[in-house]
Structure 1
Amino acid sequence: MTFFPDSKTFIQIGSFTIAWYAICIIIGAVIAYKIGQYNFKRMGLDKEVLSDYFFGLMITGVIGARIWYVIFMWNELYANNPIEIIMFRHGGLAIQGGIFAGLVFSWWYFRKHKIDFMVAGDAIMPGVLVAQALGRWGNFFNQEAFGGPVGLKFLQSLHLPDFIIKGMYINGQYYHPTFLYESLANIAGFLIIYFVIRKIQTKQGEQFFSYFIWYGIFRFFIEGLRTDSLYIMGLRTAQLISIVFVVVGIAGYIYCKKCGKPAINI
Structure 2
Amino acid sequence: MIEPVAFEFGPITIRWYSLCIMTGLVLAVYLAMREGPKKGIRTDDVLDFILIAFPLSIIGARLYYVFFQWPYSDYAQHPGEILAVWHGGLAIYGGLITGATVLLIFSYYRALNPFNFLDIAAPGVLLAQAVGRWGNFFNQEAYGRAVAHLNYLPSFIQRQMFIEGSYRLPTFLFESLWNLLGFIIIMLVRHRPHFLKEGEAAFFYLVWYGSGRFIIEGLRTDSLLFYGFRVSQCLSLLLVVLGIGLIVWRRKQKTIPYYQE
Shared fold by TM > 0.5? Answer: yes
How far apart are residue 198 of structure 1 and its match? 4.1
Do the aligned partners of 2:60 and 2:98 also contact (CA within 8 Å) in 1?
yes
Q: Report 1:126-137 matches (<5 A).
A: 126-137=123-134
Q: Distance in 1 between matches of 2:25 and 2:218?
A: 26
1:23 matched to 2:16? no
User: 1:43 offset after TM fit, Å?
Assistant: 2.5
Pairwise CA RMSD of aligned residues? 1.6
For structure 2, the 5+ residue unaligned runs are none
User: Structure 1 pair 255/198, CA: closer, same or farther in 2 (3 Å)?
Assistant: farther
Determine if the alignment matches structure 1 residue 262 to structure 2 residue 257: yes
SS in 1 for 2:133: helix
Q: Is the 8 A contact 2:190 2:196 kept in 1?
A: no
Q: Determine the C-alpha separation between the residues in 2 that align with 1:198 and 1:76.
A: 47
1:201 aligns with 2:198: no
**Offset at 1:16?**
2.1
CA–CA separation in structure 1 for the residues paired with 2:29 and 2:196: 24
Match of 1:214 in 2: 208
Count, aligned residues:
258
5+ long unaligned stretches in structure 1: none
- Name the structure 2 match of 1:63: 59
The secondary structure found in structure 2 opposite 1:256 is helix
Question: Could you tell me how far apart the structure 2 residues matched to 1:125 and 1:189 are?
Answer: 10
Aligned to 1:10: 6
Per-residue CA deviation, residues 106-155 of structure 1 (Å, 9 max, x unaligned), is: 00011111111111111111110001111100011000110111112xx1
**Normalised TM-score (structure 1):** 0.93
Tell me the TM-score normalized by structure 2.
0.94
* Structure 1 SS opposite 2:55: helix
Identity %: 41
Matched-pair contact (CA < 8 Å) for 2:175–2:213:
yes
Work out which of the residue numbers 170, 184, 187 in structure 2 matches 1:191: 184
Bigger shift: 173-182 or 78-87? 78-87
Work out which of the residue numbers 216, 220, 224 in structure 2 matches 1:226: 220
Out of 246, 252, 256, the residue aligned to residue 252 of structure 1 is 246
For residues 164 and 3 of structure 2, the distance between their equivalents in structure 1, rounded to whole angstroms, comes to 15
Aligned to 1:161: 154
Alpha-carbon separation, structure 1, partners of 2:232 and 2:163: 24
- Aligned residue for 1:40? 36
- Could you say what secondary structure the match of 1:78 adopts? coil
Deviations along 1:48-83, whole A, 9 cap, x unmatched? 211111121111111111001011112324222211
**1:161–1:132 CA distance, 2 compared to 1 (3 A):** same
Per-residue Cα deviation, 1:148-205 (whole angstroms, up to 9, x for no partner): 11112xx10x2x1111000000121110000000000000001112212442534211
Q: Where do 4+ consecutive residues of structure 1 move more than 4 Å?
A: none
**One-letter code aligned to 1:173:** S
Which residue in 2 is equivalent to 1:179? 172
8 Å CA contact 2:190–2:260 kept in 1: the answer is no
